[in-house]
């Protein structure tokens, strides 16, 4: 079975064609600058690649037609005909109060995603265009499945979900913690259970990329997660604020004259590591700046690592114990010093990191704690695309 996984961002569309017989990817790529001008680049597992900087695309539906061309024609052709694709799995950022599991796409699912656009104004409209792009290419012959980023978190108890907001408003606007990165945390939990040979685990899962979240998981079920109504909550990220005293927001709004829309844009795009350092949102640029002695880059790093440690500590309390901690995504998979810094300050939990293994682990799944560590610590090479393809397969097989 071949499954095409589609991930529509606000101005990008990432794709990956996966052979589910061996769970290996066959081809992948990304369309960028959608609605601006349009570029597409891609590669194949057997080492071919292409790049087209002149690919005008007005929306994700048009971007999708470039993807189909890339898979069936030219230097990165991997299939003769689109009929070789058995199903499409879409990553959907916000399933809100309407979806708590993956769903086969039909008109009511599309309407539901539309209804939730207020909660994910950049992403949900793009997902709908991606789905429409698929319908225009495949008609109704190829099943499409939506895998929602918040679905895995829907099991959280009310005390973790409900904010200190008047309950009438919570109910009226469905204003609760939904979380995000659920597909990644689910993959991480499954990998840790596989590595430890048991799934009755108290796990703190840290997905730390440009966007970042930490999740408390018990026996495979989410108990709490750091992202909230939207991905802004939690700890500082590349460009997002993370949790703030709410009066910081109203105070700055008044002082700077920001409208609610501007405030949301600024909190999402100009705060966090970028805002503190004034250098960049990208961890590699921060590493370079820290080496060059840039004080604000160093401050942003210290804040990020301190906040991660605080979240882990609070989730150990939420879980009343911890068996394993996992680090995943772009920054945590590739930055041994972050893992060491965070874990060395959690020594009261009996955590011991194997320094040599930690320093040699980049982007691969590995245990980095010593055998006598009281808590097992892992780096997990997270794979959201594969998880989406697995959930898509599960639904499609039953049709
Ligand atoms: P997202 O999916 O949220 O965009 P990723 O999980 O791809 O995020 O992570 C992107 C982050 O990972 C960037 O800050 C980038 O600098 C960092 N990163 C990627 N590769 C490395 C590396 N080799 N060393 C350090 N940081 C890295």
Contact criterion met (CB below 8 Å) for 10 and 93: no
| 149 catalytically annotated | yes
What pLDDT is stored for residue 344 in this prediction? 95
Q: Identify the band that residue 11 occupies on the pLDDT scale cut at 50, 70 and 90.
A: confident
From CA 86, how far away is CA 338, in angstroms rounded? 41
Q: Which atom of ligand 1 is nearest to the CA of 207?
A: 6
CATH architecture of the domain formed by 197-384: 2-Layer Sandwich (3.30)
CATH number of 2-148: 3.30.420.40
The more confident residue out of 243 and 118 is 243
Question: Which tens digit of pLDDT belongs to each residue from 219-264?
Answer: 999 999 999 999 999 999 999 999 999 999 999 999 999 999 999 9
* Distance of CA 380 from the midpoint of ligand 1 (Å): 14
Neighbours of 200 (CB within 10 A): 10
Rounded mean pLDDT of 177-196?
97
Indicate whether residue 331 lines ligand 1 (CB < 6 A).
Answer: yes
Percentage of the chain exceeding pLDDT 90 = 94
Q: Identify the band that residue 378 occupies on the pLDDT scale cut at 50, 70 and 90.
A: very high
Same fold, 2-148 and 197-384: yes
**Domain spans of the chain, in order of start:** 2-148, 197-384
Indicate whether residue 206 lines ligand 1 (CB < 6 A).
Answer: no
Indicate whether residue 329 lines ligand 1 (CB < 6 A).
Answer: yes
Rounded mean pLDDT of 103-122?
94
Mutate to test the pocket of ligand 1, among 93, 205, 239, 330 (most ligand atoms within 8 A of CB): 330
Contact criterion met (CB below 8 Å) for 325 and 352: no
Question: Which tens digit of pLDDT belongs to each residue from 298-350?
Answer: 999 999 999 999 999 999 999 999 999 999 999 999 999 999 999 999 999 99
What pLDDT is stored for residue 30 in this prediction? 96
* Distance of CA 338 from the midpoint of ligand 1 (Å): 13
Contact criterion met (CB below 8 Å) for 31 and 103: no
373: phi then psi, degrees, rounded to nearest 5: -65, 140
Question: Which tens digit of pLDDT belongs to each residue from 43-92?
Answer: 999 999 999 999 999 999 899 999 999 999 999 999 999 999 999 999 99
Q: Enter the pTM of the model.
A: 0.95
């Amino acid at each position: 079975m071949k499954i095409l996984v589609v991930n529509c961002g606000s101005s990008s569309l990432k794709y990956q064609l996966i052979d589910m017989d061996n769970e290996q990817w066959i081809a992948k790529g990304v369309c960028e600058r959608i609605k601006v001008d349009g570029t597409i680049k891609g590669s194949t597992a057997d080492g071919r690649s292409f790049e087209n900087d002149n690919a005008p695309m007005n929306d994700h539906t048009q971007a999708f037609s470039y993807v189909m061309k890339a898979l069936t024609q030219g230097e990165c052709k991997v299939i003769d005909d689109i009929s070789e694709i058995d199903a499409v799995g879409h990553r959907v950022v916000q399933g809100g109060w309407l979806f708590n599991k993956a769903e086969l796409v039909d008109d009511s699912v599309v309407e539901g995603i539309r209804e939730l656009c207020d909660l994910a104004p950049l992403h949900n409209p793009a997902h709908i265009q991606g789905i429409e792009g698929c319908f225009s290419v495949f008609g109704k012959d190829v099943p499409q499945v939506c895998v929602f980023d918040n679905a895995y978190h829907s099991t959280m108890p009310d005390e973790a979900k409900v904010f200190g907001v008047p309950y009438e408003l919570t109910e009226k606007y469905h204003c609760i913690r939904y979380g995000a990165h659920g597909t990644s945390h689910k993959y991480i939990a499954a990998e840790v259970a596989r590595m430890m040979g048991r799934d009755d685990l108290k796990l703190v899962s840290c997905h730390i990329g440009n966007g970042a979240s930490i999740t408390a998981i018990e026996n495979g079920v989410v108990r709490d997660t750091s992202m909230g109504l939207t991905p802004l909550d939690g700890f500082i990220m590349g460009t997002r604020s993370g949790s703030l005293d709410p009066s910081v927001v109203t105070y700055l709004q008044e002082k700077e004259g920001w409208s609610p829309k501007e405030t949301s844009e600024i909190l999402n795009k100009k705060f966090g590591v970028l805002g503190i350092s004034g250098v960049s949102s990208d961890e590699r640029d921060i590493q370079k700046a820290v080496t060059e002695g840039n004080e604000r880059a160093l401050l942003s790093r210290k804040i990020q690592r301190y906040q991660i440690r605080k979240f882990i500590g609070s989730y150990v309390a939420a879980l009343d114990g911890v068996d394993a901690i996992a680090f995943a995504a772009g920054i945590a998979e590739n930055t041994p010093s972050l893992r060491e810094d965070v874990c060395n300050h959690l020594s009261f939990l009996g955590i011991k990191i194997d320094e040599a293994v930690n320093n040699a682990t980049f982007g691969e799944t590995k245990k980095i704690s010593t055998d006598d560590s009281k808590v097992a610590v892992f780096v997990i090479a997270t794979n959201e695309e594969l998880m989406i393809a697995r959930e898509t397969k599960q639904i499609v097989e039953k049709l």
